Copies of this chain bind each other. A is one copy, B any other.
Amino acid sequence: MSDERLPRYQRLRDAIAERIAENAWRAGEAIPTEAELAKTHKVAVGTVRKAIDVLVADGLLERQQGRGTFVRRPSFQNSLFRFFRHQGRSGEQQIPESRILERKSQHPIPGHVIEALKLPKSAKAIRLSRLRLFGDAPFLLEEIWLPHARFARLLNASEAEIGPLLYPAYERLCGEIIARAEEVLMVDTAGERDSRLLGVAEQAPIVRIERLAFGFDNKPVEWRRSHGLATTFRYQVEIR
């Protein structure tokens, strides 16, 4: 598959990345040891280390001395989930309740979704609409789009099967793992629907978050637009 003229460690890096992309080595699990990889690929251990170095830098793998090298499970608890002030000032995070308002296959699909997910124009897509609450207090209204082909089983699952977090449900029900995401944040004003469901005045400031999530194969998998209560909004990132 890989170009014969490339350095061995790059070909090995591609080979490992491919195994991860096709889910042969699953997130959270250890990949073969460096010695094994060296043997099966007929290279020196130093070359294996160099290949793994690159994948660690890219965030696909994680080393643990004495234990092994693991496929990194992107922790969205940490990064995507620290939005709101409700949860304690430091580490502890409670998962908010989730109420699915709509869930159906839809066609045609809005142009910006087709574009973001790189779908053919004729494709079908699933549209989810979801409200998230702490106790009785709604704080986030989400509109989620998924390619029908890969997520069909989501339409038949019960709301209990899906649970309060979607990404684990994608993995459990559809075998799709989210590896990374890009988000854009902006401030907007509440429309009629926002006002009604989030319980704020129309024209009140809200936060709009648009997210495009990717799989390990680097293809877009989910597009999401969330409207959040501005008053309790808090977003935390690390920049490198």
Listed in ascending order, the chain A residues whose CB lies under 8 Å from chain B are 57, 59, 74, 76, 79-80, 82-83, 85, 179-187, 205, 207, 230-231, 233-240
Contact = CB atoms under 8 A, between A and B. Distances in A.
A232 B240 CA distance: 24
12 contacts: A180-B238, A182-B236, A183-B238, A184-B237, A185-B185, A185-B234, A185-B235, A185-B236, A186-B234, A187-B205, A187-B230, A187-B231
B240 A79 contact: yes
A234 B184 CA distance: 7
Given A182-B239, A184-B234, A237-B239, 17 more contacts: A57-B57, A59-B240, A76-B239, A80-B239, A83-B239, A182-B238, A183-B237, A183-B238, A183-B239, A184-B236, A185-B185, A185-B234, A185-B235, A187-B207, A187-B233, A205-B205, A205-B230
A96 to B, nearest CB: 18
A239 B181 contact: yes
Contacts of A235: 184-186
Contacts of A233: 185-187
Contacts of A238: 180-183
A55 B150 CA distance: 36
A203 to B, nearest CB: 10
Contacts of A187: 187, 205, 207, 230-231, 233
A161 to B, nearest CB: 26
Closest CB pairs A-B (n = 9): A205-B205, A187-B230, A185-B235, A79-B239, A180-B240, A181-B239, A59-B240, A184-B236, A186-B234
Contact of A240 (B74, B231, B234, B236): B74
